[in-house]
Amino acid sequence: MLRRGSLASRALALALLAVLLLAGYAFVVAPVLAAYRDTGQAIQEAQDLLQRYRALADERTQLTEDLAALEERAAQAGGYLEGSTDALAAVELQDRVRRIIERAGGQLQSTQILPASAIDATAPVRRAALRIQLEIAINGLQSVLYELETGQPYLFVTELTVRQRRTRRRANTPEEEPVLDVSFEVFGYVRAAES
């Protein structure tokens, strides 16, 4: 019976030792191994990211040169209104629009210079705009719009409103081409003064 008790106590001791070893593995060794594996993965991701950053850094000088070339080309490109101030650019725009309307046979009723506005804080251009009202025939209107939007400097038409003027036709007179009352805004871009 003594032997049986000592075998049972030895088995119990071995079972407790096995439980302690498993608990030690589960609570000490397994977390350390998982942390080691996660750290290795984080190091690999950091190395990959570092390689990408180094590649981008190598491209930076080329990209800086390309940007400088593009800015120089843009500065020499046409398409901008001339004028050292917003007011002078608006006057140039006003003269151009007046000439186009007169060539198309229209009659300019009113011109309003709208406040110049910046496109955004980083853009080196400002927007100069006019509000125009005129009387013109349909063919003349087509000619005006075409010339405004396809010529140099680049101009853009918005807020276009066209109404046909009602006129009474006298008997026995040929029908005339209808006269249109037209209003629109036209704008172009001027380079901002460099400070």
- The order of strands in the sheet holding 179-191 is 107-118, 125-137, 179-191, 155-164
* CATH label of the domain that carries residue 155: 3.30.70.60
pLDDT bin (cut points 50, 70, 90) of residue 194 is: low
Q: What pLDDT is attached to residue 74? A: 63
Mean pLDDT of all residues belonging to the chain: 81
Question: How many Å apart are CA 185 and CA 132, to the nearest integer?
Answer: 6
Question: How many Å apart are CA 178 and CA 137, to the nearest integer?
Answer: 6
- Summarised one tens digit per residue, pLDDT across range 134-153 is 888 888 888 888 888 887 78
Q: What pLDDT is attached to residue 3? A: 66
pLDDT bin (cut points 50, 70, 90) of residue 26 is: confident
Same domain, 142 and 124: yes
At a CB cut-off of 8 Å and minimum separation 6, what does 101 contact? 107, 108, 132, 134, 136, 144
- Summarised one tens digit per residue, pLDDT across range 91-135 is 888 888 899 889 888 888 888 888 777 776 666 777 888 898 988
Same domain, 115 and 163: yes
Residue among 193, 177, 190 nearest 104 (CA): 177
- Tokens of residue 88, six digits: 């002078």
Q: What domain count does the chain have?
A: 2
Same domain, 111 and 159: yes
Same domain, 34 and 111: no
- Summarised one tens digit per residue, pLDDT across range 140-186 is 888 888 888 887 788 888 888 888 877 666 666 666 677 888 899 88
Q: Which domain does 27 fall in, by range?
A: 1-77
Question: How many Å apart are CA 79 and CA 153, to the nearest integer?
Answer: 4
